[in-house]
Amino acid sequence: MGNLLVKKPKVTDVDRAILSLKTQRRKLGLYQQQLDTVIEAEKQAARDLIREKKKDRALLALKKKKAQEELLKQVDAWIINVEQQLADIELASKQKAVFESMKASTSAIKSLQSEINLDDVQKLMDDTAEAKAYQDEINAILGEKLSAEDEEEVLAEFENLEAELTVQDLPKVLASEETIQAKKPEIAKPKTVEDNDIDEELVLPDVPTKAPVVPEVVEDGSESASVGISTRRKVLEEPLPA
Amino acid sequence: MQRLGDFKLPHFFNYPPYFTLQPIRETREKQVQLWKELILDYCRTQKIFVIGLEEEFPLFSNPVIERSLSHEAKEAFLSALVSEGRAEWMDRGHKRCLILWLRIQDWADCILRFAKDNGLEDTVMTVEEIRSGIESRGTELHGMDRTVLMRALKLLEQKGKVAIFKGASTDDEGVKFSL
């Protein structure tokens, strides 16, 4: 109507068939209504005739009524048929739609698949596997290097931590026995080779009676201790390369 | 409060002056306004599409106060509705009036909503089915006036939402939805 640009839904023969059936269904419904009124009228007529004692006429009316009722039953069957056919036609057109779209999608899959050669896929997979193997190799090599570096780092961290811990331990000793600490550097040095802290502490108590000889060193006790540790660490490290 | 069937009538329905066309412009405007709303409301709840001016119409007379609208008054109120696009004269003599408590556009929306709710896309329905079929039972479309329905469908056809078609010469008119 008027606007030519508007896309109107397309009316197919199937649609016309459905329309025809639906019209038929409605008309049959109307026909039933008509029959119902006729039946009702005949019934009423028969009643009246019986009252008027016209038996033959009454029987005739009842016969007519009976015939109409048969007709009504027939129409019922028709309506069921029409309904059935309507359902069938709708189902069939749905089936066709499903079939069409499945056909389209199958051809789409096929055309996509035709673009892929099986040998090419095999080659691609081989190439991928090769590339992966190569990558693994690189990883292995890189991994080794990394682990060597890591080890060094771990070792360094371990030493740092150890050093920290000894520094934390030392002040206790300093607080309780300052005088011993003063002597310590002299005694400790030879002992460091053995690298045994417990031994140091155990051995040290034997020397406390002497008077403080070098008070300045005692004030910087912690410093001297850390120096001692650092030297000890160097001693520790030296044996490794050898 | 007075009732007409299951319809609740407004207070003014019991005031005699409202049944006489008011001579003063201001009061008349108010009167017309109230009647317009009443007519639309009543037709909507009772699903009345056509008012015949020469026929009995329960809304235009109130036996309780023994008043009824004159022909002139009826025509004045309905003309007010016509000028607002909520009603249309169906003949030149202004004897019958089509009441559009929903505008054609609203009816068209209503039909589309109905089609969507019932999954009627690409489905064929007869015009009769929309008005009186089991599918539309319980919706606003049920019992709809045929002319109004056809006009709403034509509007939808212009928008490409439906196609109206005829099968064999004895067949009903069919509607195919495409949403």
Domain residue limits, chain A: 13-114, 117-145, 147-182
Measured between CB atoms, does A20 come within 8 Å of chain B?
yes
Question: Mean pLDDT highest for which of A7-11, A140-144, A199-203?
Answer: A140-144
Which residues have a Cβ under 8 Å from the Cβ of A148 and sit 6 or more positions away? none
This complex has an ipTM of: 0.75
- CATH fold group of domain B3-99: Arc Repressor Mutant, subunit A (1.10.10)
Give the DSSP per-residue string, B53-81.
TTS--GGGEETTTTEE--HHHHHHHHHHH
Q: How confident is the model at residue A157 (pLDDT cuts 50, 70, 90)?
A: very high
CB contact under 8 A, A22 and B174: yes
CB pairs under 8 A between A and B: 63
Q: Which residue is closest to A4 within chain B, CA to CA?
A: B158
Sequence ranges of the domains in chain B: 3-99, 104-177
Question: What percent of chain A shows pLDDT beyond 90?
Answer: 43
Distance from CA of A98 to the nearest CA of B (A): 14
User: Taken in order B53, B10, B138, B112, is the CA torsion positive or negative?
Assistant: positive
Q: Is A101 on the interface with B (CB under 8 A)?
A: no
Q: A82-96, A213-227, B124-138, B139-153: lowest mean pLDDT where?
A: A213-227
Q: Give the residue-averaged pLDDT of B88-116.
A: 91
In this prediction, residues B31-42 reach a mean pLDDT of: 92
Q: Does domain B104-177 have CATH number 1.10.10.10?
A: yes
A103 touching B (Cβ < 8 Å): no
Where are the alpha helices (H) located in chain A, listed in sequence order? 13-51, 55-114, 118-176, 178-192, 197-203, 215-219, 221-237
What integer pLDDT is reported at residue B140 of this predicted model? Answer: 86
pLDDT at residue A210 is higher than 60: yes
Partners of A211 in beta bridges: none
Give the nearest chain A residue to B164 (CA atoms). A11
Encode B98-131: b = buried (16+ Cβ within 10 Å), e = exposed.
bbbbbebeebbebbbebbeeeebebbbbbbbbbb
Task: Give me the mean pLDDT over the A73-85 stretch.
Answer: 94
Average pLDDT, chain A: 78
Q: How confident is the model at residue A193 (pLDDT cuts 50, 70, 90)?
A: very low
Query: CB–CB of B176 and A3 under 8 A?
Result: no
Neighbouring residues of B129: CB distance < 8 A, sequence distance ≥ 6: A22, A26, B135, B136
